[in-house]
Amino acid sequence: MSIPSTIVTPPLTNDLDIVIPTIRNLDFLEQWRSFFQPYHLIIVQDGDPSKKIHVPEGFDYELYNRNDINKILGPKASCISFKDSACRCFGFLVSKKKYIFTIDDDCFVAKDPTGQEINALAQHIHNLLTPATPFFFNTLYDPYREGADFVRGYPFSLREGATTVISHGLWLNIPDYDAPTQLVKPRERNTRYVDAVLTIPKGTLFPMCGMNLGFHRELIGPAMYFGLMGDGQPIGRYDDMWAGWCAKVICDHFGYGVKTGLPYIWHSKASNPFVNLKKEYKGIYWQEDIIPFFQNITLPKECTTPQECYIELSKLVKEKLGPIDPYFEKLGDAMVTWIDAWNELNPSTDAAVKIEPSKAK
């Protein structure tokens, strides 16, 4: 069941920013107006900074282009990707809100099987404000939604659940496929609406997509770095997945929850599979080493903040993945720069609340 679109008082209007990376006019916001207008938008303009981006009237927003990024970060701007949607993470840096929702500009309002418009943002907020179950799988999926509960045999000691810090939404119409799958199935469209939200179990990685994503910025924001992609880099279209792998390892360390499923958005535009293949081909090979790398990481218990965890990850990236390609040495350095930039712009989180690593198995 999707969250109804007719919510009288929008939730978290003072605690959530919507981050949108773009190279074009944001006419797509017109369809989202009734859902997004009560919130503050952070628009990160990629590409030519002299180009004027049109934003429909009536939205509360701030817009940053490459010149702004360079001015604000100085030499640290090297960690923000150029000519790639990975630039969105600059919006995570400058936000001062507790939560972030990020969406791509080719994503529109979807409808559930009853024809009801889906308020994707409200569903993400619902996912983030209700607990997750990363330590024991509930066969009725989300036990906290109306009409469901914990099944027989579910340990009572785990029924309070864990804090949810990532809400990963899905897509109708154009699925988020890699280039080889796009080439094999050029006409495939996702028409299947699965009315479910699942917690991804502790110890399990997933391919995170950044086009329909919510997260708790204060608890996991420092891990939401979308890497070095795009212009001048040997790889693209792995930005959100890199952030997802890093964030999931850190979530597991602290015992946080990650959910996937609802809400759906309508993904309107299929990117060019030949262009995508050029961006992805090294990543397709590298991920066969990257995935085992993340699967085998155990962060030391001395890491008690997301920043400390991320610095530890950067060292391991250089040590373990550096021999694969010099790119990973550069990426490891950029991860440190990202944390330096995060702490500079977010001094209150520099001395973040110390968190005991999870002892749940």
pLDDT tens across 295-311, in order?
Answer: 999 999 999 999 999 99
- End-to-end CA distance of the chain: give it in Å, rounded: 31
Nearest CA among 335, 334, 236, 243 for reference residue 286: 236
What is the tens place of the pLDDT at every residue in 228-285? Answer: 999 999 999 999 999 999 999 999 999 999 999 999 999 998 799 999 999 999 999 9
Whether the Cβ atoms of residue 33 and residue 117 lie closer than 8 Å to each other: no
Q: pLDDT-based confidence at 91, cuts 50/70/90? A: very high
**Nearest in space to 263 (alpha carbons), one of 123, 130, 116:** 123
Average pLDDT rounded to a whole number, residues 131-145: 97
- What is d(CA 29, CA 33) in angstroms, rounded to the nearest whole number? 6
Phi, psi of 108 (to 5 degrees): -125, 175
- DSSP H helices, the chain, are 29-36, 66-73, 89-94, 120-129, 179-184, 217-220, 239-254, 273-295, 306-316, 326-345, 347-350
Arithmetic mean of pLDDT, 141-167: 97
Does residue 8 carry a pLDDT above 70? no
Q: Does position 69 have pLDDT exceeding 80, yes or no? A: yes
Q: What is the mean pLDDT of residues 109-119?
A: 98
Quote the tokens at residue 133: 């179950």
Query: CA-CA distance, 338 to 344, in Å (whole number)?
Result: 10
| pLDDT confidence of residue 357 | 73
Q: Residue 255 and residue 313: Cα distance in Å, rounded?
A: 17
Give the span between the Cα atoms of 92 and 16, in whole angstroms. 11
